[in-house]
Amino acid sequence: MRDIDKVLAALRSPIRREILGLVWARELAAGEIATAFALTKPTISQHLSVLREAGLVRMTAEGTFRRYAANQDALDGLHAALEGARKWTPADEITEGAATQARTTPAVVVAVDVDTDQETTFRAFTDPETYSRWLGVPVTIKDGRFAATMEWGTEVRGIYDAVCPPQLLAMRWDFEDDNVPVPGRELIGYLRVESTPDGSHVEVHQLVRDAVEADFMEAAWGLVLGRFKQGVSAASKGVSSTPRRRRRPKYRSSA
Q: How confident is the model at residue 204 (pLDDT cuts 50, 70, 90)?
A: very high
- pLDDT value at 207 more than 90: yes
Contact between residue 110 and residue 221 where contact means Cβ atoms under 8 Å apart = yes
Which pLDDT band holds residue 102 (cuts at 50, 70, 90)? confident
> Among residues of the chain, what percentage have pLDDT more than 90?
62
In 3D space, the residue among 13, 23, 14 whose CA is nearest the CA of residue 74 turns out to be: 23
Domains of the chain: 4-81 (1.10.10.10), 107-236 (3.30.530.20)
pLDDT at residue 215 above 80? yes
Provide φ and ψ at 122, rounded to 5°. -65, -40
Query: pLDDT of 148-188, one tens digit each?
Result: 999 988 899 999 999 999 999 999 999 886 554 444 578 99
Please check whether residue 250 is in contact with residue 152, taking contact to mean a CB–CB distance below 8 angstroms. yes
Res 62: pLDDT: 81
Buried b (16+ CB within 10 A) or exposed e, 88-107: eeeeeeeeeeeeeeeeeeee
Q: Distance (Å, rounded) from C-alpha 225 to C-alpha 220?
A: 9
* pLDDT at 93 exceeding the cut of 80: no
pLDDT score at 145: 94
DSSP symbol at 243? P
Cα–Cα separations (whole angstroms), residue 7 to 13, 43, 182: 11, 19, 20
CA-nearest of 123, 146, 127 to 193 is 123
pLDDT(237) > 80: yes
The answer to whether residue 75 scores a pLDDT higher than 90 is no
Q: Can the peptide bond before residue 90 be classed as cis, meaning omega within 30 degrees of 0? A: no
pLDDT for the residue 8: 87
Helices and strands per DSSP (H, E), number in the chain: 8, 10
